[in-house]
Amino acid sequence: MTQSTAQILDGKATAAAIKAELTTRVSALAAKGIVPGLGTILVGSDPGSTWYVGGKHKDCAEVGIQSIRRDLPEDISQEDLLKVVQELNENPECTGYIVQLPLPKHIDQDVILEAMDPEKDADGLHPMNLGRLVANVNGEMKSPLPCTPKGCVELLRRHDIDLKGKRVLVVGRGVTIGRPIGLLLTRKEVNATVILAHTGTVDLPAELKQADVVIAAAGVPHMIKAEDLKPGAIVLDVGVSRVDDGNGKAVVTGDVDPAAADVAAWLSPNPGGVGPMTRAMLLANVVESAERQAGIA
Ligand SMILES: Nc1nc(=O)c2c([nH]1)NC[C@@H]1CN(c3ccc(C(=O)N[C@@H](CCC(=O)O)C(=O)O)cc3)C=[N+]21
């Protein structure tokens, strides 16, 4: 019989606390006549993407951020999509916006992200902001950070988990999580030692065995097995996959085998862990950007 031992990194409760704090900051901006506005650009009607975008608008309403929605057909041309990007760049009601990813194959994601106004980049995925993340060892240049990495760091910080000197294994080198989180965790304010594993890593189980902290962001369902973890590890299950539950229903599945709860000291569940934090950090980026635009941060 197995017994669950890991303490839960409750992203849902932490995100709720952050949203309450942001509501106060949005009121302070409103008192100065400033209303932050989040724009979303959604191309096509993928059910997952549509659900995420809907959630972002609901979150905005909760904290008092105005939201602006641009839902576009799957077959929109790159040229027409660039016009919508330009429109939001110029729209004064839109203080920050995101382009929901992934985009259809006929559209070059890099071209679209680069066309955004970097000061309005609520996801922190514009090459200028990724470059600022590389350039600033202490985060001294106040630029938006990618929401999921920022959410991971904030989730740990709010559970008083200090990564200083810890050996962190990041699994996955994607542009939204793996690559930027390595940069964030090696900032002096966090001071973790980071190993970035990917599909070319030769012996992942050996790397896992030595890791004090595992950030699983591969997007491969249950690829991190309990027996590969170092006992007492801190595990963040970040990857999101949708798999058939056997009855034709799609269920959200993380990268970490649920039996990891028997081995880890701390575990962020999926769902209910980093996902809600990602959403909260998007709101934080919008509020921080509006504060910068107003000259108060
Ligand atoms: N431009 C862009 N920015 C993104 O931040 C972005 C994106 N594109 N494309 C897709 C991924 C995925 N992502 C998630 C956000 C919230 C949850 C989330 O809140 N999940 C809940 C519920 C999960 C469910 O039931 O479906 C949870 O984990 O508890 C998950 C995943 C943001 N992404």
Q: Whose CA is nearest to atom 14 of ligand 1?
A: 275
Pocket residue to mutate for ligand 1, from 38, 52, 241, 286, most atoms within 8 A of Cβ: 52
pLDDT at 294: 84
- Ligand 1 in contact with 279 (CB < 6 A)? yes
Q: What is the mean pLDDT of each run of 10 residues along the chain (297 residues)?
A: 80 98 97 96 95 97 98 98 98 97 97 97 97 87 94 97 97 97 95 97 98 98 97 97 90 95 96 97 96 83
Round to whole Å and give the CA distance between 62 and 179: 31
- Ligand 1 in contact with 275 (CB < 6 A)? yes
- Ligand 1 in contact with 98 (CB < 6 A)? yes
Was 173 annotated as part of a binding site?
Answer: yes
pLDDT at 145: 96
Beta strands in the chain (DSSP E): 7-8, 37-43, 66-72, 96-99, 167-171, 193-197, 213-216, 234-237, 241-244, 250-253, 266-268
- Which atom of ligand 1 is nearest the CA belonging to 273? 28
Type of residue at 225 = K
Q: Whose CA is nearest to atom 27 of ligand 1?
A: 271
pLDDT at 205: 97
pLDDT at 1: 47
- Which atom of ligand 1 is nearest the CA belonging to 99? 1
DSSP for 52-114 reads HHHHHHHHHHHHT-EEEEEEE-TT--HHHHHHHHHHHHH-TT-SEEEE-SSPPTTS-HHHHHH
Q: Find the length of the chain.
A: 297
Q: Whose CA is nearest to atom 15 of ligand 1?
A: 275
Q: Whose CA is nearest to atom 11 of ligand 1?
A: 101
Of 239, 236, 240, the C-alpha closest to 267 is 236
Give yes or no for a contact between 240 and 16, defined as CB atoms under 8 angstroms apart: no
> pTM for the full model?
0.95
pLDDT at 3: 59
Q: Could you give the residue numbers annotated as active site?
A: 56, 100, 123
Was 174 annotated as part of a binding site?
Answer: yes
